[in-house]
Amino acid sequence: MFYIQLLYLNEDIKNNYLKDINSNEVQIDKDIKNYINIINSLPYICTTQCCQGHPDNGYLSVMITEDKINWFESIIIKEIFIYCKDVIKRFEEIKKDQIYVRYTFWFKNLEFFNAFINLLK
């Protein structure tokens, strides 16, 4: 029997992402940097990729702690979808037997961030 472990956000994963985000090698669009910092200040979520889009539309990819998955999928995604073109649950293989679970939001405009942050709080 083949077993794959789904990896949700934990402290180590979050610390690694935050270390990368805060490095000089990562550039975050100035219009969304404050939003990214607010989202990352919450203990159960972390941004993993983002792009403001040029000139409009963009995406935000996040990881969530396992204990928040049901709430996130049944309430947050349902409510935020009106600000998005699409929401995708992604499984990204990192090793033969482990996969990261991420959510990607293809947002329509920057109103997405205020709505998303209000829902997360």
- Residue-wise pLDDT for 19-36, tens only, equals 988 877 777 878 888 999
Which three-class secondary structure state does DSSP give residue 59?
A: strand
- Whether the pLDDT of residue 46 is over 80: the answer is yes
Domain limits for position 90: 5-120
What confidence tens digit (pLDDT) does each residue in 65-110 have?
Answer: 999 999 999 999 999 999 999 999 988 867 778 898 999 999 998 8
What is the maximal distance between C-alpha atoms in the chain? 48
The model's pTM is 0.87
Q: What is the pLDDT of residue 63?
A: 96
28 and 36 Cβ atoms separated by less than 8 Å = yes
The domain tally of the chain equals 1
